[in-house]
Amino acid sequence: PRPVTAATLSCRRYVAGGQCKSTAKLEGKVVIITGANTGIGKETARDLARRGKVVVACRDIAKAEAAASEIRAETGNQQVIVKKLDLADKNSIREFAEKFLAEEKELHILINNAGVMLCPYSKTADGFEMHLGVNHLGHFLLTFLLLERLKQSAPARIVNVSSLAHHGGRIRFHDLHGEKSYNRALAYCHSKLANVLFTRELARRLQGKSQRRAGFTANALHPGSVHSELVRHSFVMTWLWKVFSFFLKTPWEGAQTSIYCAVAEELDSVTGQYFSDCQPAYVSPRGRDDETAKKLWSVSCELLGIQWD
């Protein structure tokens, strides 16, 4: 093996980025994490399972059970529960929410973490373009269905995992589902911009209803470039990820900002913000466009057949 130099170490430290220092406990609290069977979702679940009860919400139940039993064994917390959730299917989202609300009287933290990236053109069960459908609309509907329970449990937090890729996105209202033109990388960027705009508009609406005093917040984040399965749909990206793995965050490092947004005490009344490396980060001008955020909200409601005022 090559000797580890000071330069190598400082480079690794730079890549690793910020770390969540909070030791906050979540005793008696309930957390939902979508897509927590792999990557940063799994590492977020592993950390939060040391603090409180975690519901792992995933499409692949076998993988989710394997991840959950590993986390239970490691943390000694038996309160790591697996529930089926397919964000590409409205019926599955409604079924998940119905079961959760019947079984759990409280919900304190919702981490909208699951995502797809660089998919060949495809549609969800409901006819939405896959990136927009899973990354934005699926989480939009899930948040809507769980909102009252979060409000009742306040202080509560909603954490949306977005990406630096939102800088390359735009909301193409004339072609939301990429039927006129489709580029898988841009489709991912568009969906991540939608995450930022959703967070912004949600925070504005919650504040408008005086929820801020109750410590009910919504924030978004960029986890960093993480060595994970997210690039599995692209041979080129998979190859690049292997070659440059030294310059990528590990899933544990990538999970730090999600954990920070979920538990850091100093964020108790911080809402509508965007974080990277456990600190506030720059949002693209499109990500700060309130008119687009409002329009995306009403179009999303229309597409999902819901009324969310």
Alpha helices (H) in 153-277, listed in sequence order = 184-208, 235-243, 251-263
Q: What count of Cα atoms within 13 Å lies in the side-chain half-sphere of residue 217? A: 21
Q: Phi and psi dihedrals of 79, rounded to 5?
A: -85, 50
Q: Are 54 and 81 in contact (CB under 8 A)?
A: yes
Catalytic, 188? Answer yes
Catalytic residue among 121, 188, 260, 274: 188
- CA atoms lying within 13 Å on the CB side of residue 205: 17
Amino acid, single-letter form, for residue 46: R
For residues 253 and 224, is the Cβ–Cβ distance under 8 A? yes
Number of H helices, E strands in the chain: 10, 8
Provide the annotated active-site residues: 188
